[in-house]
Chains A and B, each alone.
Chain A
């Protein structure tokens, strides 16, 4: 099972909005409403930001939103803030006969 495809990097200025894409296949992203997104500041524990494609855990800012169309999921961050600078990973259920879950390669978000 190949990793999900994410852009290596994205950038934006404070206050702007950015979107990170996550492309899988009809066997994973496209088949289940089970895409999650994680924020990872190097050296710290990853943090769950979005689950089940578009649900936001309690305590996560509403500036973060998730969506999906076909085999591609997206994470949008609005009103960019300096503390949003981090690595972001998507993750999807991969089907019961394969790996438990698969991750994307990660996207480095730079806040200019």
Chain B
């Protein structure tokens, strides 16, 4: 079964750091570009970051640029999001999403997400 499972969320104080992980299974992870997408409580979806299959290209939303770093370990079938200098407005459910092999900018497989709460 094709699956993405996020972990690493939790409660962190403003200014703190957190590292999220996304474990992929059921497909050849190294062949796919990946993304992080978040949803703040009561809000819509917001794209956060992109990484190409071989890690050559990364991209970030302006709201997280300079604070978040996306990375991947294809040998471990894992995607990561290092989040530093966290702010209250970063509170959200963070989900990883696979880019469709047939169409760029389309997310064909998603995880259920992991909750990040930034609060003192």
CB-CB under 8 A from B106, the residues of chain A are: 34, 36, 48, 51-52
CB-CB under 8 A from A55, the residues of chain B are: 103
Interface range, A side: 20 to 34
Decide: B61 and A99 in contact? CB cutoff 8 A: yes
Decide: A100 and B50 in contact? CB cutoff 8 A: yes
Known: A43-B112, A44-B112, A46-B110. A103 touches B103 (CB 8 A): no
CB-CB under 8 A from A51, the residues of chain B are: 100, 103, 106, 108
Decide: A3 and B44 in contact? CB cutoff 8 A: yes
Chain A residues 6-51 with CB under 8 Å of chain B are: 34, 36, 38, 40, 43-48, 51
Decide: B47 and A101 in contact? CB cutoff 8 A: yes
CB-CB under 8 A from B47, the residues of chain A are: 99-103
Inter-chain CA distance A46–B107, complex, in Å, is: 9
Decide: B112 and A100 in contact? CB cutoff 8 A: no
Shortest CB-to-CB span from B112 to chain A, Å, is 5
Inter-chain CA distance A3–B112, complex, in Å, is: 22
- Nearest A residue (CB) for B112: A45
**Cross-interface CB contact of B110 among A43, A45, A99, cutoff 8 Å:** A45
**Cross-interface CB contact of B44 among A52, A92, A99, A104, cutoff 8 Å:** A104
Shortest CB-to-CB span from B14 to chain A, Å, is 24
- Nearest B residue (CB) for A99: B61
Inter-chain CA distance A106–B39, complex, in Å, is: 11
Decide: B44 and A93 in contact? CB cutoff 8 A: no
The answer to whether the Cβ of B11 comes within 8 Å of any Cβ in the partner chain is no
Shortest CB-to-CB span from A55 to chain B, Å, is 8
Inter-chain CA distance A3–B97, complex, in Å, is: 19
Which residue numbers of A lie inside 8 Å of B, CB to CB?
3, 34, 36, 38, 40, 43-48, 51-52, 55, 57, 89, 91-93, 99-106
Which residue numbers of B lie inside 8 Å of A, CB to CB?
4, 35, 37, 43-47, 50, 59, 61-62, 95, 97, 100, 103-113
